[in-house]
Amino acid sequence: MRRTVALIVTVALVATGCGAHVSEGDSGAAPAGYPVTVTNCGSSLTVSKPPSRVVTNDIGITELMFALGLGDRMAGYVVDKGQSGGVASSPWKADFAKVPKLAEKINREVVQGAGADLVFAGWNYGFSEATGFTPDSLAKLGISSYLLTEACRNGNGKQRGIMRPLDALYTDVRNLGKIFGISGRAERLIGEYRARVAAVTNAVPTGRPKPKVFLYDDGRDQPFTSGRNAGPDEIITKSGGANIFADLNDSWTTVSWEAVIQRAPDVILINDYGGEVGSVADKENFLRSRPGLRDIPAVKEGRFFALPYAALVEGPRNAAAVEEFGRYLANLPG
């Protein structure tokens, strides 16, 4: 399937596949090096010139734009109130202050009102058939979409993830570099991330079992966690641990408490939403109080470690998350 957009004011729209083709008419020649085509979630996306009014959804996606120095290409961003703490602590806090926050929930009216020429979001990161906000619905409005690679559907129902999580990050950085004509900058960033992650992995002690790690996002009746296709899986593995749910061919997903107890994690990595959706202390207290969980090694030994939401979803904080969690695991008793 193919998605093509010309990014001009006057358009003639013809919907095609899961995207749209926009005719340039007599608008003149494309800039040097354009049009550019990238592969995104198995489909081709073609742009005739660098987008100039991008709308992003979610903090990690927005920070990817900022990390690449693309704040001036944005019409605005959307984050919900649960991510306010992440914005306040972001390494790109100054960029968040310069770019307009458009809403707490993305929809067609928000992106149309912003005059968006590209929406950068993902399945369960804004796009949803239930709400009717999808790449197809935007294509009918002449607005192109770029989907977060971590959230690409893999053909098994609505399960997400088509490659290893860090490869998904590098793919998106590289694609954005091509789309915006800054491939050199993108490749330098990828090289930096690879080097930082490799430094941690190469320093992991050998000759001892890898600590088994359970990523706890939230959920009381059933826990929400990470399968092998979400960011936490490689944050855990590159740090020297083993994700207890690495056998699940999905990204962020729901499991059972019985499965957590059976797999007996040595460490619990907590997703810290900054207090907006249950504080870290609240989550620890819940885990300590739930029957069965109190007896697993992580809870008995008090081995809890928290990382912010923005570091665990795909985004430019992933390398730092590997470094931080790697230091924690390296200091555990042998």
Confidence band, pLDDT 50/70/90 cuts, at residue 11: very low
If you average pLDDT over every residue of the chain, what do you get?
91
Distance of alpha carbon 264 from alpha carbon 110, whole angstroms: 45
35 upstream amide cis, omega within 30 of 0: yes
Place of tokens 């690495």: 246
Structure tokens at 152: 């690409």
Angle at 308 between CA 319 and CA 305, to 5 degrees: 90
Q: Which pLDDT does position 208 carry in this prediction? A: 86
Q: What is the pLDDT of residues 264-299, one digit of tens each?
A: 999 999 999 886 667 899 999 999 999 899 999 999
* 18 φ, ψ (degrees, to nearest 5): -100, 20
In DSSP terms, which residues pair with 266 in a beta bridge? none
Give which of 65, 44, 68, 67 is closest to 53, Cα–Cα: 65
Q: Quick check: 25 pLDDT over 60?
A: no
Least confident of 26-35, 166-175, 214-223: 26-35
Residue among 212, 210, 205, 207 at smallest CA distance from 303? 212
125-151 confidence digits (pLDDT tens): 999 999 999 999 999 999 999 999 999
Domains by residue range for the chain, with CATH: 2-147 (3.40.50.1980), 193-330 (3.40.50.1980)
pLDDT of residue 274: 81
More confident call, 76 vs 206: 76
Residue 26 has pLDDT above 90, yes or no: no
* Residue-level pLDDT at 59: 97
Structure tokens at 81: 């109130």
- Position 81 scores a pLDDT of 87
Residue 121 has pLDDT above 60, yes or no: yes
pLDDT of residue 275: 64
Contact residues for 180 (Cβ-Cβ < 8 A; gap 6+)? 50, 51, 68, 70, 73
Half-sphere exposure of residue 322: CA atoms within 13 angstroms, side-chain side: 27
**pTM value?**
0.90
pLDDT at 309 over 70: yes
Q: Is 191 exposed, middle or buried (0-12, 13-18, 19+ CB in 10 A)?
A: exposed
Query: How much is the pLDDT for 28?
Result: 55
